[in-house]
């Protein structure tokens, strides 16, 4: 991949016509409606952390089908007024971990909700939200229930991600009209999905997003998570048509087309996990289907010599400065 990585000029022109099912909007409208009946907050209790400058709460909210999903809610200690808020989504194979592991956003002055990934903990981080559904498919999260979009793991995880925004807005100390979403890798894919499903976000920050331009991505890399889909098809050859159909309901390009919030993207040009071409597919289509005469603000940062790690701390600094400016402009 590094020797054949496309130039930035080529990436800026890459806008494939991703196959989108005719009932895409109906599918997601019905999916979210099926989970909206349950009250979103199930339990909120203070969590002792020994961090003197931050307060944390252990949150359980109702996700897909009313299933309990865990999250950490953290905010600056002693601050009374409602704060702008950020929902953060974790990467593939990660759980929510411990409340002191991800402190960038609350220490920057935001109310922060970190969502657990149902059923995924154990590869890279600790989590405690099960995914209680069984369906035909492969052994990895990327292939759980992959033969039918109604049974697919990412139908449930994306629904959880939308409900996390609703849960954050219901928590005390949150400025409900100033909520943004952020994520890296799988978390970046979830942030894009939420951007296409929730119409009143303040901003979207996505880096190295998974779940974009899926068919092309599976062809470009053998590394997980996309490689897990290829390995499933290497054994289940007759399942190819069903797999592509299922993936078409969760492709980040389709969600990006429907997004309306300002967005900041980041990619490493040598990324072999989530190839940069696939992120640019979402970026170049971002906001195209929202019906507005002027597309939403968006920007892309490319790190030419980096892989899936992207810009790391340099990019986080850019995220902090960009979000602060976007929120200030909105308030103005």
Which residues have a catalytic role annotated? Answer: 185, 271, 308
First to last CA, the chain: 44
Residue closest to 107 by CA, chosen among 59, 51, 171, 182: 51
Cα–Cα distance, 145 to 314 (Å, whole number):
38
Per the CB < 8 A criterion, the answer to whether 204 and 298 are in contact is no
CB neighbours of residue 49 within 10 Å? 15
Residue 240 contacts residue 281 (beta carbons within 8 Å):
no
Q: CA 179, CA 168: separation in Å to the nearest integer?
A: 8
Collapsed DSSP state (helix, strand, coil) of residue 313: helix
**Beta-bridge mates of residue 44:** 59
SS3 104: helix
192, 256 Cβ separation under 8 angstroms: yes
């Amino acid at each position: 991949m590094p020797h054949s990585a496309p130039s930035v000029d080529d990436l800026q022109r890459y806008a494939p016509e991703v196959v989108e099912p005719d009932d895409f909007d109906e599918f997601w409208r019905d999916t979210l409606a099926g989970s909206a009946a349950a009250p979103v907050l199930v339990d909120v209790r203070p969590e002792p952390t020994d961090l003197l400058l931050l307060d944390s709460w252990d949150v359980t909210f109702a996700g897909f089908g009313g299933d309990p999903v865990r999250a950490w809610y953290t905010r600056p200690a002693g601050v009374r007024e409602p704060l702008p808020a950020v929902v953060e989504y974790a990467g593939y194979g990660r759980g929510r971990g411990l409340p002191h592991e991800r402190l960038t956003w609350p220490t920057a002055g935001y109310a922060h909700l970190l969502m657990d990934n149902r059923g995924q903990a154990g590869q890279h981080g600790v989590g405690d939200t099960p995914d209680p559904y069984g369906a035909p498919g492969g052994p990895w999260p990327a292939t759980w229930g992959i033969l039918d979009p109604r049974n697919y793991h990412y139908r449930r995880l994306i629904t959880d991600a939308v409900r996390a925004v609703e849960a954050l807005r219901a928590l005390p100390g949150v400025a409900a009209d100033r909520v943004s979403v952020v994520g890296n890798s799988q978390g970046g894919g979830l942030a894009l999905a939420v951007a296409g499903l929730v119409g009143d976000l303040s901003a979207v920050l996505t880096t190295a997003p998974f779940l974009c331009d899926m068919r092309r991505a599976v062809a470009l890399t053998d590394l997980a998570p996309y490689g897990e889909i290829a390995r499933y098809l290497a054994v289940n050859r007759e399942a190819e048509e069903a797999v592509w159909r299922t993936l078409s309901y969760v492709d980040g390009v389709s969600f990006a087309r429907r997004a309306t919030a300002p967005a900041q993207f980041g990619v490493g040009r040598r990324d072999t996990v989530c190839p940069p071409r696939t992120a640019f597919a979402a970026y170049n289509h971002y906001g195209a289907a929202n019906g507005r005469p002027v597309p939403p603000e968006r920007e892309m940062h490319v790190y030419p010599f980096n892989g899936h790690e992207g810009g790391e701390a340099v990019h986080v600094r850019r995220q902090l400065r960009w979000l602060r400016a976007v929120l200030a402009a909105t308030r103005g």
